[in-house]
Amino acid sequence: MDFVSRREWGARSPRGSYTALSSTRGVKIHYTGGRVDPAIVDDHDKCVKMVRSIQKSHMDGNGWMDIGYSLVVCPHRKVFEGRGIKHLPAANGPGLNSGHYAVLGLVGSSGLVTPPDGMLHGIVDAIEYLRDEGDAGREIKGHRDGYATDCPGDKLYSWVKRGAPRPGAQEPSDPEPPSGEAPEWPGRELKYPPVMRGDDVRQWQARMKERGWGIAVDGAYGPRSREVCRSFQREKGLPVTGVVNKATWTAAWEMPVT
């Protein structure tokens, strides 16, 4: 990842201390909402100036303590450090910031509206970084998912809805098929609190880890297991209870990985 630190892009210091963020369900993708000069594609200095301008707008216009995004990505596949990892963003909307990191692509509602390949690669780089270093979950959403807005614009959102593939990657025409028959239902629901332990917990955790979820296979069903369960249920259209019942258990093996 071609990372541009706050010092390198000349960020102002935040007005206070960030609220800590230990993990998220994933990442939400944003656009600027205004006109973006297409000339930034050929002039990276304009990208730097634009990021500074966004920080100024958020701090002096919105009254926020800092730029609202976790990371910002420009057409040159450079990833600018915003609030960064393990810090609560401000751009997702009231009550929604703790659920996802916020990543801005420097496209807008006019001017540059179609994200260049370099920007899409950079957004994927940013997502992978947030997963590896910031404990972000597997979800990739648009700002409009759960908040009344046009963000991140139709062009960028259609890419998000396709699963945010890297440019040039072959996109499957159909969802990944089910991976096989589920093992026998253990006969008890896995839930927290209190912490439940057992081989059935370990088996379910191992399956979720195999599917790509960030979860420890320790045989203890605690807060993180419940969080992963809820995110999985939400993704699959199941009742979001955080309880591994028979339907959720079966879905972990038999529903496609998306």
Q: What is the DSSP string of 5-70?
A: -HHHHTPPPPSSPPPB---EEEEEEE--SSEE-GGGGT-HHHHHHHHHHHHHIIIIIS--SS-S-S
Check: CB of residue 66 under 8 Å from CB of residue 58: yes
User: What DSSP designation does 146 have?
Assistant: T
Q: Would you state the structure tokens that stand for residue 125, as one six-digit string?
A: 């780089």
Which amino acid is residue 131, in one-letter code? R
So what's the pLDDT on residue 23?
86
Instruction: Dump pLDDT digits (tens) for 30-63.
Output: 999 999 999 999 999 999 999 999 999 999 999 9
Beta strand 196-197 with 220-221 is antiparallel
**pTM of the complete model:** 0.68
So what's the pLDDT on residue 177?
40
> How many CA atoms, within 13 angstroms, populate the side-chain half-sphere of residue 12?
19
Q: Would you state the structure tokens that stand for residue 166, as one six-digit string?
A: 């890297």
Instruction: Dump pLDDT digits (tens) for 162-176.
Output: 999 998 865 544 444
So what's the pLDDT on residue 176?
45
Residues of the chain with pLDDT under 50: 172-178
User: What DSSP designation does 126 have?
Assistant: H
Q: Would you state the structure tokens that stand for residue 5, as one six-digit string?
A: 């630190």
So what's the pLDDT on residue 244?
97
Q: Would you state the structure tokens that stand for residue 155, as one six-digit string?
A: 């062009």
CA-CA-CA-CA dihedral for 258, 90, 214, 170, to nearest 10: 30
Phi, psi at 198, each rounded to 5°: 155, 170
What sign does the CA torsion over 168, 172, 175, 179 have? negative
So what's the pLDDT on residue 173?
45
φ/ψ region of 228 (left if φ > 0, alpha if ψ in -120 to 50, else beta) reads: alpha
Check: CB of residue 238 under 8 Å from CB of residue 167: no
Alpha-carbon span 66 to 221, nearest angstrom: 37
So what's the pLDDT on residue 213?
87
Beta-bridged to residue 2, according to DSSP, are 78
How far apart, in Å, are the Cα atoms of 101 and each of 84, 217, 223?
A: 9, 25, 19
Alpha-carbon span 79 to 135, nearest angstrom: 18
Alpha-carbon span 237 to 220, nearest angstrom: 25
Radius of gyration in angstroms for the set of CA atoms belonging to the chain, rounded to a whole number? 20
